[in-house]
Amino acid sequence: MTITNDLIAQHGLTADEYQRIVEALGREPTLTELGAFSVMWSEHCSYKSSRVHLKTLPTTGKRVLQGPGENAGAVDIGDGLAAVFKIESHNHPSFIEPYQGAATGVGGIIRDIFTMGARPIALLNSLRFGSLDDPLVRRTMAGVVAGIAGYGNSIGIPTVGGEIGFDDSYTGNPLVNVFCLGIAQAGEIIKAVASGAGNPVYYVGAKTGRDGIHGATMASAEFDENSAEKRPAVQVGDPFMEKLLLEACLEVMRTDALVGIQDMGAAGLTSSSCEMGSRGDAGVEIDVSLVPQRESGMTPYEIMLSESQERMLLVAKQGREADVERIFEKWDLHAVRIGKVTTDGRLRVLNNGEIVADIPNKALTDDAPRYRRPVAEPSYLKTTQQLDLAALGPPPQSRDVFRRLLASPGIASKRWVYRQYDHMVRTNTLVLPGMGAGVVRIKGTTRALALSVDCNGRFVYLDPFLGAQHAVAEAARNVACAGALPIGATNCLNFGNPEKPEVMWQFVRAVEGMGAACRALDVPITGGNVSLYNETDGRAVLPTPVVGIVGLIEDAERVVRRLFRTGGDVVVLLGESRAELGGSEYLKVMHGQVCGVPPALDLAREAALQRLLVDSAAAGVLHSAHDCAEGGFAMALAECCFDSTVGVSVDIPAVDGADAGFADIAALFAESASRVLVSTSADGATDLLARASAAGVPAAQIGVVGGDRIRITVAGRPVLDEPLADAERIWSSSLERVFERARAVA
Amino acid sequence: MKFAIVVFPGSNCDHDAHYAAEHVLGQQAELIWHKDTSLRGADAVVLPGGFAHGDYLRTGAIARFSPIMQEVRRFADAGGPVLGICNGFQVLLEAGLLPGAMLRNASLHFHCEHVHVKVEQTDTPFTLMCPSGRLLKIPVAHGEGNYYAEAEVLVRVEKNRQVVFRYVDSSGQRTAEANPNGSLNNIAGICNEGRNVVGLMPHPERACELALGSADGLVLFESVVKAVTEGAFAASR
């Protein structure tokens, strides 16, 4: 078959890239080879636009056992154990087919974790959708949630937390980012490496079909009105098969018969074979005719590019074949020997013994193109950064804002969502979803891990550098509120088309901000994922660099929760409130505006605040802790009461510099950073304030827990006085009503 | 005493039940692979939650053909205490060891949440330490827990006092709102006529420690320890 220009373009390759392929091979590629280069050099697999920037992120630290480059990162959590974790996107498939797209996203990240030799024990997710007024968005969200539930619940890994945001920019391009954490013996982390000439290469798991061919290429292009035609490129998940694979693989790993293992995710058999060979400086030779196939007449091209789910490639030690095969047989799986490790560093693909591809592994992996794409500061910033409150008309009543924000889907209870997830299986979940960071205990130790995924896309849109810093700070602050020391991070960078200089500028600035914040807070990034081309009809999503943070709690009995506990406890606000309404939920919900500059962030002060939280929690001083995020102080205070059955009464100072008439709004709803609402016993307040003073963290005793109302005065003047039950009803039923009303109408 | 916890390939609450029996309760517990043909001298059998064989067809429909189920049936017929939790309950229904069937939840959604159940029968090996009418706060986590039985079966189950657990609200009232899945008569768990086989949708093994939100489920396991130790329920061998 001749390789035409059309064929090259269809494979998403430029003329220059094709020329590089010819040079790497020393000849024209075969069709199978062209397919292999196409997927391996796609943005999704090669990180060609992002890699030069990702290199600037901090990835090392005294606890880091595995940084970027493997299936997942790993950090030391003591007791000879490692926390293995990563976040990954499945945005494009989830738009085209919400249930299966999201389900297979869960399946993929779980495989990344257990291939490291870790037992997965917790899932989180970070989701973004358009406005729920749109029936298509509701359908997408319902499908995504059901897909995550369908997969995670069946396989028996609890979904213990997450976050969901809404903005019109996500209407045609939802974000589905899934985080998984597993526990491994620190000294027994398994690598995705092929080595040892003559060692057998095994294929195990589901049979290969024509599904998902060019999924990686699909994920590296924008959407348009024809996207629905791409549905065959979305795979179908089988959580039961994955459960068998998980158990069987962990059992094989407990023997010493294994050399390396990798799942066949994006780019399927192609990526797993050449990446394992490349990491081991070895060659891999496989015969596709031996690959178990679900359909007849599949070509080598199709077999190599299929993204059928629940498949693994593993290299065993020569002579130990029987041990490996016996374990898979026990789980009714068949490990099929499809090739061997060689010494020549090449990926050689045979079809019934005849060579159909013969490529140096490095040409597909390390030597893939790298671009430093042009950047340009977006013109929109000139207008969006202007915030003129006076132009918005007279300020609304605080009470109306309070109620509207409680009902807004970004803030309202996500119970309708997390009730569909099994969040308790494995009996480790100490803090249930909807209550800040998810917390799971580590059985057999006294420790627990707190997990949080966060990103405020509005902040990043308005100032990518500062906004990405906020994402890191907020995720770390959330685990610190639980009493956990942030020890490792993973990121999922969701942006638009990197070939547009303004998008690329957002990306570069966000990575710079993220790196600065991770260094200041001492949380290395151990891996992650980049998802570009999140655009539909030329319109990009809000830049959304989601950060997942793992925090370590030394004494699981000292976990701090969000809810106020008992009447009479003292409420203390840590941090400073300023008139910072830029990028706020208030502006979005009440005025439909995304404008202004995000709140300032002093990273040194943030670090001091987090240390104070961790130390005070360990000392048993804190009865509750909750950070002020979307909706500001007032929302945070209300959330501390919901589900607790006790109200609260506080007096806060007026904020400086608020525009005329907006002083109360700013005091209640501005989203100033580095603020945490904590409660402690009446006796403990002195201790806590002394600790805060020593740490250099501003702290003020602002009120007491008790009663059945939420009462706020500003400098002694009443501004809000709401029955707790009313507020809680609005907050807890809002999302449910959206979906149930929609169902009733349908 | 010794628990046998049956492991189907898609079981996922097997380790939770094992942990509750061994670490919380301090009893012996052994995981038994579904292809095994012996319960290895266990005094009580637990069929745990999960998705036994993927359950794409009908929950528990294939599990009843697993080799170990012959042994479970023999054990139950001989009077031994058997507890089916969630998927285990579904398997017991499919195997005919308990009457009735499961439908999808009325909401058509998977549902995971703490609920309240009232203990109505205390003459089973898993409830004999409960005062009658006691409320237990225990989580549910299922997509197909909507208990159904034909009219005459339902009448018989009620008349024979086979409804062991019923969904109620936090004040103990049997209301429609307290029913998480649409089960007939708010049925959360039942026993067989011999009263030694009990199945329930809520997960008592997830409610054995206060750190997890409730320790109300522990009484089911403590009851069977007492039943076995005192010889109240034992399989005649």
Q: Is A309 at the interface with chain B, CB within 8 A?
A: no
Q: Please, which residues 108-127 of chain B have a Cβ atom closer than 8 Å to chain A?
A: 109-113
CA-wise closest residue to B4 among B60, B74, B65? B74
- Residue A175 has, within 13 A of its CA and on its CB side, a CA count of 39
Q: How many residues does chain A have?
A: 746
* Whole-number pLDDT of residue B232: 77
Q: Which of A421, A424, A426 sits opposite B139 (nearest CB)?
A: A424
Q: Which residue has the tokens 């909507």?
A: B146
Query: Chains A, B: CB contacts under 8 A, how many?
Result: 85
For chain B, state the CA radius of gyration. Answer: 16
pLDDT, one tens digit per residue, over B128-138 is 999 999 999 99
CB contact under 8 A, B19 and A422: no
CB contact under 8 A, A425 and B10: no
Measured distance CA(A84)–CA(A158) in Å, rounded: 16
Q: Which of B19, B50, B141 sits opposite A424 (nearest CB)?
A: B141
Cβ atoms of B135 and B118 closer than 8 Å? yes
Q: Which residues of chain A have pLDDT under 50?
A: none
CA-wise closest residue to A208 among A304, A86, A101? A304
**Residue A334 falls in the annotated catalytic set:** no
CB contact under 8 A, B15 and A426: yes
Q: Is B139 at the interface with chain A, CB within 8 A?
A: yes
* Whole-number pLDDT of residue A625: 98
* Whole-number pLDDT of residue A393: 87
* Whole-number pLDDT of residue A212: 72
DSSP per-residue letters across B193-217: TTS-EEEESS-GGGSSBGGGTB-TT
Q: Which of A238, A332, A424 sits opposite B9 (nearest CB)?
A: A332
pLDDT, one tens digit per residue, over A261-311 is 999 988 899 999 999 999 999 999 999 999 999 999 999 999 999 989 899
Measured distance CA(A66)–CA(A490) in Å, rounded: 12
CB contact under 8 A, B12 and A146: no
Q: Is A445 at the interface with chain B, CB within 8 A?
A: no
One pLDDT digit (tens) per residue for chain B, 237 residues:
999 999 999 999 999 999 999 999 999 999 999 999 999 999 999 999 999 998 888 888 899 999 999 999 999 999 999 999 999 999 999 999 999 999 999 999 999 999 999 999 999 999 999 999 999 999 999 999 999 999 999 999 999 999 999 999 999 999 999 999 999 999 999 999 999 999 999 999 999 999 999 999 999 999 999 999 998 777 775
* Whole-number pLDDT of residue A630: 96
* Whole-number pLDDT of residue B237: 58
CB contact under 8 A, B110 and A150: yes
Rounded alpha-carbon distances, angstroms, from residue A150 to A37, A383, A583, A686, B108: 34, 44, 35, 49, 12
* Whole-number pLDDT of residue B152: 98
Q: Please, which residues 413-442 of chain A have a Cβ atom closer than 8 Å to chain B?
A: 418-427, 429-430, 432, 441
Distance from CA of B140 to the nearest CA of A (A): 9
Beta bridge partners of A699: A574
Q: B209: how many CB neighbours lie within 10 A of its CB?
A: 18
CB contact under 8 A, B212 and A430: yes
Distance from CA of A426 to the nearest CA of B (A): 6
CB contact under 8 A, B50 and A146: no
* Whole-number pLDDT of residue B52: 92
* Whole-number pLDDT of residue A743: 65
* Whole-number pLDDT of residue A225: 59
Q: What residues of B act catalytically?
A: 86, 203, 205
Measured distance CA(A688)–CA(A165) in Å, rounded: 34
Q: Which residue of B has its CA nearest to A159?
A: B112
Residues of B in contact with A247 (CB under 8 A): 9
Distance from CA of B205 to the nearest CA of A (A): 8
CB contact under 8 A, B112 and A424: yes
Q: Is B88 at the interface with chain A, CB within 8 A?
A: no
